Structure 1
Amino acid sequence: MKTGRIFNIQKCSIRDGRGMRTSVFFKGCGLHCLWCANPEGISFEPEITLNPQNCIACNGCMRNCPTGASRLDENGAPVYQRDQCTSCGRCADLCPTEARKLNGQDYTVEQLFKRIYQDRFYFQHSGGGVTFTGGEALMQPEFLLAISKKCREYGVNVAIETCGCGDYEKFAPCLDYIDFIYFDLKHMDSEQHLKWTGQRNERILENLRRISQHGNEIIVRTPVIPGINDSEENIRETARFILPLASVQKYELLAYHKLGVNKYKLLGKPYLLEEIQEPTAEHMFHLVDVANEVLAPAGKKCFYNLNNDYDE
């Protein structure tokens, strides 16, 4: 029985594709982008997050932790010793306020599809569907294939958000059951890509070429991080790369934000880009103009959705 490891299911999403969608977050990613807004999705292993503000000092975690990793200190504040934790999830199961939460649950295809299909009426009336995101959905190709087939069988539109770092030969069968793809290109300079994401970009670029040849509708996206990849040169080179790709007609720029910063604290990890500020709308629209100098003559379009409008 195939299972997939999922760390979140978000209902009624309007920011992960066309229409109203259910976003399913796959656990595990081959990149480690320093700006990642979902750090709980990077590791494939289940992880506990601790939010002390939600703790009511009921002591249930201490009573049920088999290793002593979860306890309260002398002042009644929650303590979590991560080096002793086996991520069994007992503390999270019994926490009435979700001060402790287990990120990463295994689903069968039937279990996950049941959750997705609950929203079929929203899909039908809005032109929406399911978006498999993460983490990185392509890192679990067998499960992605099985759940995508199930969705196709019942008429559920399937989108994925990917950084393209998977093994093409393993995930290629999934492409027959995916309606459209959001493909992130972080940086065109491979050394800079390695510095900021932990991996070089050659495989990612080749995967984009091959996916484009398959014929799936693709929107390429770049998260614009000031001082890292927001130069005119990088945006222009990205536009030049996608120019000959027939399946890519649109290129979207996404503004850096800090909505996920608190998640690092809950995971007990540092956020290393604290000093970086969000780009201005003026800068974003300037970069759109830079990209369109390359794309527009070929009938392609770069855009920036200031209001997250997915009618583009």
Structure 2
Amino acid sequence: METGRIFNIQKCSIRDGRGMRTSVFFKGCGLHCLWCANPEGISFEPEITLNPQNCIACNGCMRNCPTGASRLDENGVPVYQRDQCTSCGRCADLCPTEARKLNGQDYTVEQLFKQIYQDRFYFQHSGGGVTFTGGEALMQPEFLLAISKKCREYGVNVAIETCGCGDYEKFAPCLDYIDFIYFDLKHMDSEQHQKWTGQRNERILENLRRISQHGNEIIVRTPVIPGINDSEENIRETARFILPLASVQKYELLAYHKLGVNKYKLLGKPYLLEEIQEPTAEHMFHLVDVANEVLAPAGKKCFYNLNNDYDE
């Protein structure tokens, strides 16, 4: 039975494509972007997050942890020894306040589709659908194909958000069942791309070329990180790359934010970009102008929305 590993299902999303959508977050990603807002989605393995502020010291985690990884110290403060944890999820199942949460659960196609199809009336009235994101949905191509086929069978619009890090031959069959793609390009310089994401970009760029030839509607996006990829040169080079891609008519710039920083603390991981500040709106609109110098003569468009709404 085909299963996929999911770490979150977000209902009533208005930021992940047209209309009201259900966003399904796939676990596991081939990139390790230092600014990632969903660090719990990077590893394919299940992980426990601990939020001490939610703990009411009920001792349920300590009594039921098979390895002794979960306990309370002498002051009643929750302690989590990650090196002893097997991510069995017992502590999260028993926690009444979600102080401990298991990130990463396996779903069958039927189980996941049941969650998605509950929102069909919202989809029908808003022109929405489901968006598979992550993590990276292309890292689980067999499950992505199976759930996308199921959605197409029942008339559910399917979108994906991807960094393009995957094996094209494995995920190509999925493209027949995907209506729309957000494709992130982090950096055009391959060495810089590897420095900040852990991987070079040659395969990612080639995947975008090949997906574009398939004919899916694509919006390319760049998360603008000050001091890392926010130079005029990088934005101009990105615009030049997508200029000949017929399926890409729009290029969106996304402003760096720190909304996911607290997740690193909950995972017991350091956030390495604490000193970076969010770009100003003035800088963002300037970069839009830089990209449109390349794109506008060909009838294409770069845009930036302060609220990150979908651009019609």
Measured in 2, the distance between the counterparts of 1:310 and 1:49 equals: 31
Following TM superposition, by how much is the alpha carbon of 1:128 offset from its aligned partner in structure 2, in angstroms?
A: 0.3
Superposition pairs for residues 146-185 of structure 1, below 5 Å? 146-185=146-185
Distance 1:105 1:309 in 2: 29
Shift of 1:137: 0.2
Q: Any idea what SS the aligned residue of 1:68 has?
A: coil
Q: Deviations over 1:131-162 (max 9, x none)?
A: 00000000000000000000000000000000
Indicate conservation of the 8 Å contact 2:254/2:308, yes or no. Answer: no
Give the Cα separation in 1 of the matches to 2:119 and 2:246: 33
Which whole-Å deviations, capped at 9, do the CAs of 1:49-89 have from their partners, x for residues lacking one? Answer: 00000000000000000000000000000000000000000
Counterpart CA distance in 2 for 1:85 and 1:133 is 27
Structure 1 Cα separation of the partners of residues 309 and 53 of structure 2: 34
Residues 28 and 134 of structure 2 are in contact (CA less than 8 Å); yes or no, is this contact kept in structure 1?
A: yes
Unaligned runs of 5+ in 1: none
Name the CA distance, whole Å, in 2 between partners of 1:241 and 1:219.
13
**Alpha-carbon distance in structure 2 between the residues aligned to 1:143 and 1:249:** 29
Alpha-carbon shift at residue 273 of structure 1 (Å)? 0.2
Which residue of 2 is the match for residue 52 of structure 1?
52
Q: Structure 1 CA distance, aligned partners of 2:311 and 2:271? A: 33
Matched, 1:222 2:222: yes
TM-superposed CA distance for 1:283, in Å, is 0.3
* Separation in structure 2 between the aligned mates of residue 181 and residue 311 of structure 1, nearest angstrom: 13
Equivalents in 1 of 2:54, 2:309: separation in Å? 34
- Residue 35 (structure 2) pairs with residue 31 (structure 1): no
TM-score (norm 2): 1.00
Q: For residue 73 of structure 2, what is the aligned residue in structure 1? A: 73
Secondary structure of residue in 2 paired with 1:275: coil
Question: Distance between the aligned counterparts of 1:310 and 1:33, measured in 2?
Answer: 23
TM-aligned CA deviation for residue 309 of structure 1:
2.5
Deviations 1:285-309 (A, max 9, x none): 0000000000000000000011223
Contact 2:251 2:301 survives alignment (8 Å) = yes
- What is the distance in 1 between the residues matched to 2:308 and 2:251? 14
Contact 2:223 2:255 in 1 (8 A): yes
Whether the 8 Å contact between 2:185 and 2:221 is mirrored in structure 1 is yes
Corresponding residue SS for 1:16: coil
Task: Give SS of 1:12's match.
Answer: strand
Residue 271 of structure 1: CA displacement?
Answer: 0.2
Alpha-carbon distance, 1:266 to partner: 0.1
RMSD of the alignment, in Å?
Answer: 0.4
Distance 1:210 1:186 in 2: 18
Q: Specify whether residues 228 and 311 from structure 1 end up closer, same or farther in structure 2 by C-alpha distance, changes over 3 A only.
A: closer
CA contact (8 A) 2:188 2:201 kept: yes
2 CA distance for matches of 1:113 and 1:262?
30
Corresponding residue SS for 2:106: strand
**What is the CA-CA distance between 1:310 and the residue it aligns to?**
1.4
CA contact (8 A) 2:48 2:103 kept: yes
- Quote the offset at 1:27 in angstroms: 0.1
Other structure's SS at 1:24 match: strand
Hey, what's the Cα distance between the residues in 1 that align with 2:266 and 2:21?
Answer: 27
Q: Secondary structure at the match of 1:37?
A: coil
**Post-superposition offset of 1:197:** 0.1
The SS at the match of 1:8 is strand
CA deviation map 1:85-111 (0-9, x unaligned): 000000000000000000000000000
Contact 2:288 2:302 in 1 (8 A): yes
Q: Is 1:95 the equivalent of 2:91? A: no
| CA distance in 2 between partners of 1:273 and 1:15 (Å) | 24
Q: TM-score, normalised by structure 1?
A: 1.00
SS of equivalent to 1:96: coil
Task: Tell me the number of residue pairs that the alignment of Structure 1 and Structure 2 aligns.
Answer: 312
Deviation at 1:117, TM superposition (A): 0.2
Aligned-partner SS, 2:271: coil
Cα distance in 2, alignment partners of residues 221 and 19 from structure 1: 19
Q: Is the 8 A contact 2:137 2:160 kept in 1?
A: yes
Q: Deviations over 1:174-227 (max 9, x none)?
A: 000000100000000000000000000000000000000000000000000000
C-alpha distance in structure 1 between counterparts of 2:311 and 2:89, whole Å: 41
Task: Give the aligned partner of residue 297 of structure 1.
Answer: 297
Specify the SS of the correspondent of 2:223. strand
